[in-house]
Structure formats: C-alpha cells, structure tokens
Amino acid sequence: MYTVKPGDTLFSIAFYSGNAYRDLAKWNNIAPPYSIYPNQLIRLRSSNKKVKIKEKLHSISADNQELVDVPAPQAYRGREEKHRKIQFDRSGSSTKSYKDEKWTWPAIGTNKVATVGIEGSNRGIDIKGKAGSSILAAASGKVVYAGNALKGYGNLIVIKHDDEYLSAYAHNDKILVTEQSFVKQGEKIATMGSTGSSETMLHFEIRKMGRSIDPLNYLP
C-alpha cells in the first residue's frame, strides 16, 4: 500500500510505481476524474496477487490542500522539487525479460543523459531533434497512458512492455496513439515537440518496476 502525499496524483503514483493508472483506479475503486486525497491508502497491486511492497519516499514541499491534484513545477531534472521513488519487491518473475531484448532508438537527434530526481540516482535521456520528426516505440507493448496530466512531461506517452518494464516518451507535439492500444517496436507513436519544455526534444525513460534506469544500457 502507498500513502498519498500532498502533490500526488493518481497518474504520478501509477508512473512512479510502474503501473497503469487505470489499474490503480480499478484496484482502489476510484472513478473519473480520479481525485485522491492526502493520507489515502492506494493499493499498488491487485489484491489477488501475493506481493511484498516496501516504500522508499523522498520528502517534497507542497501546499496543504484537500485534493491532491497540485501542479508540480518540474517532473524531472531535479531543479525545483525532490521526487519520491516507490519501490517494491515482487514474488515470481515475468516470462519475458526486456533486458535481453533488442530495444531501438525512439528518435533521431543529439542525445544527452538527463538526471531524474534531485538525488541524481535515476537517469533518462534527452534527444534534441527537429520539430515534427518521428517518435518511435522503442519496444512493442501496450499504451497505458497518453496525455498531459503528469506535470513537467508535457504530452506524454507511456508504454507497458511486460510486468516489469515501461518506457516513457515526453514533450511530444502530436500524440498518434490511443490508450489501451498495442504498438509494435519501431511504430510511429508521436511527433517531436516542446510541450512542457523550453526546447524541442524527446525525453525518454525506461522504468523497471517503477524505477528509472539508464536507457543507454538497453539501447543499441
């Protein structure tokens, strides 16, 4: 279980715990528009699965409000806020390991490492390219989020590849896929833009069990 803190949204909890927000809503009987409240307990896994969950949280500053949907100034780079990491251990493992699969680059451009979180332990990459250029799925999977509700990421796409791995594509101009749809590796899912960013780029993350890991260890 996870205890909701000021500044949380169901979308951010889902992203940082490696879940689809629709699953969290279902497991916790939360109806649209998915409002949550401080100190509310959120189940991070289906009740019919035996899992061990532990939380490692980093404090953040936020105004005290009854509803939790408080805009966060930046979702990565660690300039304005500290970010919590929701980590957990699972019993069992997926039948398919995406560490052993060949990932493909999601965009063409100049890339650099982008620190995720003020503690600097998590990593993503920023790929700077041309506005309107293609954003591709780095691996096959199911689109579990397509929208702009996660502050600091702009137009964001999250693809779930298996029970462990997600990939995230931020700052898109146009989103070309819909939630719950399946995409193939290399399929065009968006066009590059600057939503939520001062520069035209794709911010790309690979997350394993909710933890952001270095994409350069996976990309060819």
Interval 137-168: pLDDT, tens: 999 999 999 999 998 899 999 999 999 999 99
pLDDT in tens, 171-182: 999 999 999 999
Burial class (CB in 10 A: 0-12, 13-18, 19+), 57: middle
Give the pLDDT confidence score for residue 101 in this predicted structure: 64
Give the residue, 152 or 191, on which the prediction is more confident.
191
Between 201 and 46, name the one with better pLDDT.
Answer: 201
- Tokens 């660690």: give the residue: 78
d(C-alpha 122, C-alpha 113), whole Å: 10
- Give the model's confidence band at 99: pLDDT under 50 very low, under 70 low, under 90 confident, else very high: low
- Residue 61: pLDDT over 90: no
Sign of the CA dihedral with 28 first, then 89, 165, and 37 last: positive
Say if pTM beats, i.e. exceeds, 0.95.
no
d(CA 71, CA 21): 18
pLDDT for 94 beyond 80: no
Sequence-ordered list of residues with C-beta below 8 angstroms from that of 180, at least 6 positions apart, any chain: 22, 142, 143, 144
Residue 98 C-alpha from the chain's centroid:
17
| Candidate from 68-72, 116-120, 157-161 with smallest mean pLDDT | 68-72
What residue ranges define each of the domains in the chain, with the CATH number in brackets? 110-217 (2.70.70.10)
Contact 143, 180 (CB under 8 A): yes
